[in-house]
Amino acid sequence: MQLEDKAALVTGGASGIGRATALLFAREGAAVAVADIDASGAQLVAQEIVGRGGQAFAIQTDVAQADDCRRAVDHTVKAFGGIDILFNNAGIIRRADVVETTEDEWDQVMAVNVRSVFLMCKYVVPIIAARGGGAIVNAGSGWGLVGGRQAVSYCASKAAVVNMTRAMALDHGPQGIRVNCVCPGDTDTGMLRSEAQQLGAAEIEFLAGAADRPLGRVGTPEEIARAVLYLASDAASFVTGTVLVIDGGGLAG
């Protein structure tokens, strides 16, 4: 029970990596707030946790909106007495180059992927600090470290998350708050499959291309969740400002 007596807030918790992490956090003893714009999906995850004997609730949250972020944080504190762990997982992708990307698409990607991290941390950091410290894990991407084709807004947003992580680690380490970033490679989620649709590619062929890495496959949400658990737990008590790549060797060479 690596997270016994801890309270965690997970954004984008209704599906994919967020869902897998919320379930794993709960199995490790944490009370979990499942925040997502998909209210019904978040509710299903919370019900699954409660059905297994855990403690959880769901809250519909548009992470690009300050009022929604503040409300999610306030409800979590009211329900659990505080927050020890924040996983900024919510994200979207738009597959287009700079010419094809519209201004609205650019703004939306930046709002969901970057503004959300700023807002959630703005409201959560003082609460974690008041508890004597804790952990923040941000979801970056391999494309936050290297460029990718036809994904300019996504690459820019995830690069911002990576360096925001480092800046926050410097600022809030003295408060006992560790801030780290996971950078997954292609992972078998709905978002990955949506990329095939955006590019007009056959899903089977697209997923086969995504698996072209040393381990010969895409990752699973549960594999990414285990890395998030490590960074959120006391096992990583001397780890902050780091970027953990989980990509089956995709960036190795």
Catalytically active residues are 154
Provide the phi-psi class of 137: left if phi over 0, else alpha when psi is between -120 and 50, else beta: beta
Cα 224 from Cα 210, distance rounded (Å): 16
Q: Which residue has the tokens 């494309």?
A: 143
Q: How far apart are CA 42 and CA 18, in angstroms?
A: 10
7 φ/ψ angles, rounded to the nearest 5 degrees: -115, 130
- Give 122-191 as a DSSP string: HHHHHHHHHTT-EEEEEE--GGGTS--TT-HHHHHHHHHHHHHHHHHHHHHGGGTEEEEEEEE-SBSSHH
